């Protein structure tokens, strides 16, 4: 679909397909969560065309970033970001261990999953891509009722990559009636 700076090998693509299948199996009939994860993956893949980052780490983290939601809801009665960050890493570790991923790789994914609601928590291009890709999906629900000036201010404050900011502007500002 996109021209990644570093293209995954066929073996890596097979691994990513297994991660996706495991995420879909874990979420079961929760199509909303599956669709959200897949949208974040698509935006992450697009951002990888502009940002030099490990595509397997990025796409695995994108696929699993919200994997702790069900445990957060079960244990804490909430899907709030802090609970997702607490409950997500053990689930991600279990999934990736089952897929025979390397321990160092599992640790990096768990770090991103465990911080994906905390701005600038992890200093890596992979984390920044996940941050912006997740925002691109989530902003579609919250920016539609805001003025163009408000949207621009929110985007300026929130987005952490220039390609992510440009994509957000394209999505949320370029076709608006009140945008100059």
Span of 17-26, 53-62, 115-124, 165-174 with lowest mean pLDDT: 115-124
Name all contacts of 166-170 with Cβ < 8 Å and 24+ positions apart: 167/43, 167/46, 167/47, 167/132, 167/136, 168/132, 168/135, 168/136, 168/139
Model confidence, pTM: 0.92
The pLDDT of residue 1 is: 41
The model's pLDDT over 34-85, given as tens digits with 9 standing for 90+, comes to: 999 999 999 999 999 999 999 999 999 999 999 999 999 999 999 998 999 9
Average pLDDT over the chain, rounded to an integer: 92
Which pLDDT score, from 0 to 100, does residue 96 have? Answer: 98
pLDDT (0 to 100) of residue 145: 84
Query: pLDDT digits over 102-124, tens only?
Result: 999 999 999 999 999 888 778 99
Q: Stretch 131-158: mean pLDDT, rounded?
A: 92
pLDDT of amino acid 19 = 98
The model's confidence at residue 176, banded by pLDDT at 50, 70 and 90, is low
pLDDT of residue 122: 84
The DSSP secondary structure of 60-106, one letter per residue, reads HHHHHTTTTHHHHHHHHS---HHHHHHHHHHHHHHHHHHTT--HHHH
- pLDDT of residue 178 exceeding 60, the answer is no
At the second CATH level, the architecture of 10-172 is Orthogonal Bundle (1.10)
Percentage with pLDDT > 70 across the chain: 93
Percent of the chain with pLDDT over 90: 83
């Amino acid at each position: 679909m996109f021209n990644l700076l570093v293209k995954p090998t066929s073996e890596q693509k097979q691994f990513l397909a297994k991660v996706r299948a495991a995420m879909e199996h874990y979420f079961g009939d929760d199509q909303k969560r599956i669709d959200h994860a897949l949208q974040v993956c698509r935006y992450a893949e697009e951002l990888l065309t502009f940002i030099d980052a490990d595509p397997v780490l990025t796409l695995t983290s994108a696929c699993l970033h919200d994997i702790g939601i069900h445990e957060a809801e079960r244990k804490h009665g909430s899907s709030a970001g802090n609970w997702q960050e607490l409950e997500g890493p053990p689930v991600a570790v279990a999934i990736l261990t089952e897929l025979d991923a390397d321990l160092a790789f599992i640790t990096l994914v768990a770090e991103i999953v465990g911080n994906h609601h905390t701005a600038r928590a992890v200093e890596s291009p992979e984390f920044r891509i996940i941050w912006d890709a997740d925002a691109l999906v989530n902003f579609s629900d919250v920016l539609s009722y805001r003025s163009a000036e408000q949207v621009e201010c929110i985007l300026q404050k929130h987005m952490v990559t220039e390609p992510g900011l440009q994509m957000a502007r394209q999505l949320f500002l370029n076709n608006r009636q009140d945008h100059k």
